Amino acid sequence: MSSLFASLARARDLSIDQTLLGLNHICLDVTPMTTAVSSDLSCYIQRLSDKSKERFGKGLGYAVEPYKQIIGKRCYELALVGGADGVLVELMRFVNVLEGVEDFDWEEW
């Protein structure tokens, strides 16, 4: 089984049984880096992968390809890539604030 699939299985197991110990994933806000390079998260990830191949001989693989998600009144683009040590790395890019939208009916934890 590839390390990426093993990471996905481990992340799924952690989400089902929270008594399992270990790091599920980390999330990095890459908005400042993407605005200087591109307004698209997939282009930014491709550039990271190319630089990783040059420097370490290994590129990045998607665990979850980029998708958009609304959090509160903000829209983000998110993706999960497999880190070299098997930990999933979530990359997040701010897209915009939704104008004319009232607060969504949700409660903070």
Instruction: Assess whether pLDDT exceeds 70 at residue 54.
Output: yes
- The reply to whether the predicted model has a pTM over 0.75 is no
| Of 57, 55, 27, 33, the residue nearest 45 (C-alpha) | 33
**95 alpha carbon, distance to own chain's centre:** 14
- Read off φ and ψ for residue 56, nearest 5 degrees: -115, -5
User: What would the mean pLDDT of 91-100 be, rounded to a whole number?
Assistant: 86
Mean pLDDT score of the chain = 76
- Which is more confident, 75 or 35? 75
pLDDT number for residue 67: 92
Residues ≥6 apart with Cβ < 8 Å to 57: none
User: What would the mean pLDDT of 79-105 be, rounded to a whole number?
Assistant: 77
